[in-house]
Amino acid sequence: MKTLQKTLLAVAAGSLLSMGAQAAVSYGNGYTGQPYIGAKVGQFDLDVDGADDPTAYGIYGGYNFDPNFGIEAEYVGSDDADYRGGDIDAKTYGAYGTYRYAFPNTGLYAKGKLGVARTEVESNYNVGALNVSQSDKDTNLAGGVGLGYSVNPDFSVEAEYDMLGSDTDLMTVGAQLKF
């Protein structure tokens, strides 16, 4: 009988702690912050004569301090695109402050971000019998705007346009999962 009582007491305590944790997350109308992760795909727009624009793919994560303000970090890489009989690819790493405005009763929101991005563009091509490799690395002030739709409280989709420097832009669509 003592084992049964201990088991029931442990189950009851676990249930109460679980309910308390849920209440802490949804207590009143307060906002306790929300982390998220996401994936995106799109296209780089490189200001390089004769180069095809490479397809972009990336991951990102962030934290919303309240329904409007947050931070975000991302990595976006690319496939190899054609360039002068060789190839060109790009990648960027960024850290941003974000602002979201939710349109009332629609699930839609507008997003703006401003921060710093490091962009690396590497190319390999042939000039006659010579193989030429070039690399350009810049760290710049970067920003972007986007439009998103919250499918439910934990999942949303976004379309974004980012300016990563004077000669690199990025257009993406993605999805994010909130915790």
**Amino acid sitting at position 130:** L
pLDDT at 166: 79
pLDDT at 131: 83
Q: Beta strands of the chain (E only): which ranges?
A: 34-46, 55-64, 69-78, 81-83, 86-102, 108-127, 130-152, 155-163, 168-178
CB-based contact 90:54 (threshold 8 Å): yes
What are the CA-CA distances from residue 7 to residues 1, 10, 20 (Å)? Answer: 10, 5, 20
Q: 40 forms bridges with which residues in the sheet?
A: 58, 174
pLDDT at 23: 43
What are the CA-CA distances from residue 47 to residues 50, 137, 169 (Å)? Answer: 9, 14, 9
On the CB side of 12, CA atoms within 13 Å amount to 6
pLDDT at 93: 95
Distance CA(100)–CA(110), nearest Å, equals 6
Residue-by-residue pLDDT tens, the chain, 179 positions: 566 555 545 555 555 454 444 444 443 455 678 999 999 999 999 888 888 889 999 999 999 999 999 999 999 999 988 888 889 999 999 999 999 999 999 999 999 999 999 999 999 887 888 888 888 899 999 999 999 999 998 999 999 999 998 789 999 999 999 98
For the whole model, what pTM was predicted?
A: 0.77
